[in-house]
């Protein structure tokens, strides 16, 4: 916590909910901004992605789209979405090449070692490479922010409610939403 106190310039907090990810063979995470899942408090939240053990290229590690925090049209549309409020299903894109071809940026990844961590803001487009190994890729996502700023109640407190409406009832596909947004 001392690192985040210094990084953020004041007393910090971490969300009570922590996300353990187990990605099996032939699976991946599509391109997305974290803000659509946890944007009800401050927008100055940081994700720390930590692999559990070494992650080879074949295991499908985290990939970041460098420069994606400047995709203004995406930030003004998709980046304003709230998955519980808007009930839009899916990542922004399952095709990382489409993201670069349409909006710019450059995807970056590497092999990771136990003890590595990546810290990034809510408007960095990210996902993972497909796990082509015969092992699960395991990682943990934790979130940090200044304690003095508003907190998304879904992830913090004695009994966080987490996602309560996402994918329940009538949903909107990401394709429909993107068409409406013009992205």
Q: Give the pLDDT confidence score for residue 164 in this predicted structure.
A: 87
Under a CB-based contact definition with an 8 Å cutoff, are residues 171 and 68 in contact? no
| pLDDT, mean of residues 53-77 | 97
Q: Is the pLDDT of residue 170 over 90?
A: no
pTM: 0.94
The pLDDT value recorded for residue 46 is 98
Name the residue among 65, 31, 56 with its Cα closest to residue 137.
56
CA distance readout (Å), 137 to 32, 43, 72: 19, 29, 32
| pLDDT of 90 higher than 80 | no
Q: What is the pLDDT of residue 104?
A: 96
Average pLDDT score over residue span 98-103:
96
Q: Is pLDDT at 103 greater than 80 in this prediction?
A: yes
Q: What is the average per-residue pLDDT within 118-144? A: 98
Q: Rounded mean pLDDT of the chain?
A: 96
pLDDT above 90 (res 31): yes
Q: How confident is the model at residue 169 (pLDDT cuts 50, 70, 90)?
A: confident
């Amino acid at each position: 916590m001392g690192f985040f106190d210094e990084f953020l310039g004041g007393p910090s907090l971490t969300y009570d909910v922590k996300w353990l990810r187990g990605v099996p063979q032939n699976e991946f995470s599509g391109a997305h901004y974290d803000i659509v899942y946890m944007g009800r408090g401050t927008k100055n939240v940081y994700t720390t992605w930590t692999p559990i053990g070494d992650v080879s290229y074949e295991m499908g590690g985290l990939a970041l789209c460098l420069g994606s925090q400047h995709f203004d049209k995406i930030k003004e549309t998709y980046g304003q979405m709230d998955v519980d409020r808007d009930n839009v299903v899916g990542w922004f894109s399952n095709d990382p090449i489409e993201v670069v071809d349409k909006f710019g940026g450059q995807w970056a990844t590497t092999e990771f070692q136990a003890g590595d961590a990546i810290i990034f803001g809510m408007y960095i487009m990210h996902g993972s490479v497909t796990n082509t190994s015969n092992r699960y890729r395991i990682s943990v996502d934790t979130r940090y922010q200044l304690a003095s700023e508003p907190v998304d109640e879904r992830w913090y407190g004695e009994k966080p409610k987490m996602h309560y409406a996402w994918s329940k009832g009538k949903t909107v596909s990401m394709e429909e939403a993107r068409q409406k947004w013009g992205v």
